[in-house]
Amino acid sequence: MRPSTANPASTPGVGRDAAEARHHTIGWLLSGAVVIGLCVAIFFDGVAKMVNDWSLDEYSHAWLIPFISAALIWQKRGELAAAGIRPTWTGVPIVVIGLAAGLFGELSTIFAIIQYGLLITLFGVVVSSIGWRAVKVIWAPLAYFIFLVPLPTFLYRGLASNMQLISSTLGVDMIRLMGISVFLEGNVIDLGIYKLQVVEACSGLRYLFPLMSFGFLLAYLYKGRTWEKILLFVSTGPITIFINSFRIAVTGVIVDRFGIETAEGFLHFFEGWIIFIFGVGLLFLEMLLLARLSGRTDSLADLLELQWQRQQPASGTAAAPPWRAPPYVVNLALLAVMTSVALMLPARAEVVPPHRNFATFPMRIDDWRGQEEPIEQVYLNVLKLEDYVHANYVAPDERVPVNFFLAYYPSQRKGHSAHSPRSCIPGGGWEMMQVDQRRIDNVDGAGGALSVNRVVIAKGTLQQVVYYWFQQRGRLLTNEYAVKWMIFWDALTQNRTDGAMIRLVTAVHPGESPDAAEARLADFVRAVYHQVDDFVPGQETADG
């Protein structure tokens, strides 16, 4: 008898298994599409804002993340089959938490809360559908989705400011090591015949987040020890700072050797994705170095887990679609209900109270005489304020003025919020010598007191005293995090996020004591207190 030459795949049993596997795969894809569609409807405002932010250099890499995560999950399909798909009810509370966060974010229109609520909800659905054992297999591709969400503005602002300061200082030190004269003062790197703005010099810091995203991916694929993977990812921050410092240093050398025109050409060339590619190259070099230090001589490709055909699931073992699992059905019902709620919720038009035109702010307050000082547009673009007062006031018996700055924001929901002087002062080249609070008595003429932040700053032999506080919908606050919390709370309860930051600065004159400078500030606070109240809307707007 001749042996059978029939193709195993053509046998009825194997054919049925293959067809069932295809149907199950399609079922999983459809189940995921339904969940994603409902989540987009529920979290629409946050999703729209997130996608819009992907057009920025900082987050332009985010378009690739869903596809990369899907590929990484597909790479693990064999291990997923081996782990088994075991739906669990423990994912349902996670979905509830995510939906609650989305609802709070929607009512307060704080996009970051909506966006993180979306991620929590999707994670809860995944846990419910496949179980914790399977989630452990694909934890990294799931965690990779975190890079979809832009960093909250107040965190990004502080991080960028500190990194700019470190990067510019390190770059200037590199230039000096080469024997070239350079001076860093505040936001300007002075190379003598050429002045470079720190914001422009440190533009490469915008590629921190794409590099962090790639660093996470590289650390995950790297065949190394856990501490090596962590080091690869964490090093993306120092690498970004080094690249910017190197860019500043090379610019200084080019200015000194070849002139301004050549330096500007280098700056325009060495920016954008060139910086990102340079950073990626440094990450690969770091990975090779780690491998060599541990005694491995593998090639670059062999150091990465790029095998896509490992642990293929046996024919017919494809898991049934999640719609047969009760936890998935409950989650689907929750999403459907929340979709209806989201569609029925009326659009909440933000309450923006009327306020007096700041152009009419008096330049004569009691005995104090003021002189306006317009702020340059480059700084207004960063501050993103609606209206402001910036003036120097002098009393008849004083030689030293008080610099008064009142920044007003009718809405602080979309990342346009008051900048804390504490985060801006280092960027001006000043060192904070002392930070505490002061209580100023009798600010209203009726015995009332005002608490303010007090910062003593120095630059060389110069010394200044700074007072500042936040006036937010009738509240006088000194804690920056309390300001953020009250923005959320008032957005939720009053549908208002307007507010102002008030900052006063005076120099300690040679031969003058810091106490005398503080007395000058306190006197002006008492004089200007009622004027600020007249121009910044208070609690009564919401009440009345």
Ranges 22-31, 329-338, 432-441: which has the least confidence: 22-31
Using pLDDT thresholds of 50, 70 and 90, give the confidence band for residue 412: confident
Query: Residue 216 has what pLDDT?
Result: 96
Query: Residue 199 has what pLDDT?
Result: 62
- pLDDT (mean) for 217-225: 92
Contact 364, 370 (CB under 8 A): yes
Residue 458 CB-density burial (10 A; 0-12 exposed, 13-18 middle, 19+ buried): middle
pLDDT in tens, 471-526: 999 899 998 888 888 888 888 888 888 889 999 999 988 878 888 889 999 999 99
Helix locations, 272-349, DSSP H: 273-293, 326-344
- pLDDT (mean) for 398-408: 90
Ranges 15-19, 273-277, 303-307: which has the least confidence: 15-19
- pLDDT (mean) for 261-289: 83
Query: Which tops the pLDDT comparison, 203 or 266?
Result: 266
pLDDT at 228 over 70: yes
pLDDT at 434 over 60: yes
SS3 66: helix
- pLDDT (mean) for 9-32: 68
Query: Residue 20 has what pLDDT?
Result: 65
pLDDT at 415 over 70: no
Query: Residue 95 has what pLDDT?
Result: 95
HSE (side-chain half, CA atoms, 13 Å) at 540? 6
Could you give phi then psi for residue 355, rounded to 5 degrees? -145, 160
pLDDT at 26 over 50: yes
The DSSP code for 304 is B
User: Parallel, antiparallel, or unpaired for β 499-507 and 183-185?
Assistant: unpaired
- pLDDT (mean) for 316-320: 58
Query: Residue 202 has what pLDDT?
Result: 60
The DSSP code for 363 is S
pLDDT in tens, 352-364: 888 888 889 999 9
Which H or E run contains 489?
helix 480-493
pLDDT at 10 over 60: no
Average pLDDT, the chain: 83
pLDDT at 313 over 80: no
- What percent of the chain is modeled with pLDDT above 90? 31
Distances (CA, A) of 359 to 76, 355, 372, 527: 63, 11, 10, 19
pLDDT in tens, 171-182: 889 988 888 888
pLDDT in tens, 44-80: 888 998 999 898 888 888 999 999 999 999 888 888 8
Q: What is the pTM of this model?
A: 0.71
pLDDT at 2 over 70: no
Extents of the domains making up the chain: 16-150+317-344, 154-303, 358-543
pLDDT at 14 over 60: no
Helical pair 153-177 and 236-258, crossing angle rounded to 10 deg: 40
HSE (side-chain half, CA atoms, 13 Å) at 181? 3
pLDDT at 1 over 50: no
Query: Residue 353 has what pLDDT?
Result: 87
Query: Residue 15 has what pLDDT?
Result: 57
pLDDT in tens, 113-166: 899 999 999 999 999 999 999 999 999 999 999 999 988 776 777 777 778 778
Contact 186, 428 (CB under 8 A): yes
pLDDT at 418 over 90: no
Query: Residue 314 has what pLDDT?
Result: 45
Query: Which tops the pLDDT comparison, 447 or 79?
Result: 79
Query: Residue 214 has what pLDDT?
Result: 94
- pLDDT (mean) for 401-430: 78
- pLDDT (mean) for 302-313: 66
> Based on C-alpha coordinates, what's the Rg of the chain?
29
Q: What is the 3-state secondary structure (H, E, C) of 443-487?
A: CCCCCCCEEEEEEEEEECCEEEEEEEEEEECCEEECCHHHHHHHH
